[in-house]
Amino acid sequence: MRNKIEDLRNHLFVVIEGLLDPERPMDIERAKAVADVAQVMINSAKVEVDMVKALDARNGSGFLQIGQETVK
């Protein structure tokens, strides 16, 4: 799986940087859309955490990895 929680964080930081860029600020509506999608992903990750706990999955769920290096 290619997209990990770290990728989500990186995308959100890009949005923040875009909003703060004085020369080419990101459109507010676009930033809100990214934030909305990110919130859905975060909520999904919370469900995955519950699943990992319930199943005692020691390696995570794929999106959330426990004790594994991310391959890019």
For every residue of 8-50, which 3-state class applies, written as one string? HHHHHHHHHHHHHCCCCCCCHHHHHHHHHHHHHHHHHHHHHHH
Domain ranges of the chain: 5-55
Radius of gyration of the chain (CA): 15
CA angle 58, 36, 33 (to 5 degrees): 135
Q: How far apart are CA 13 and CA 1, in angstroms?
A: 21
pTM: 0.62
Residue range 17-64, pLDDT digits in tens: 999 999 999 999 998 998 899 899 889 888 888 888 888 776 666 665
How confident is the prediction for the chain on average, in pLDDT?
80
Distance CA 68, CA 43 (A): 22
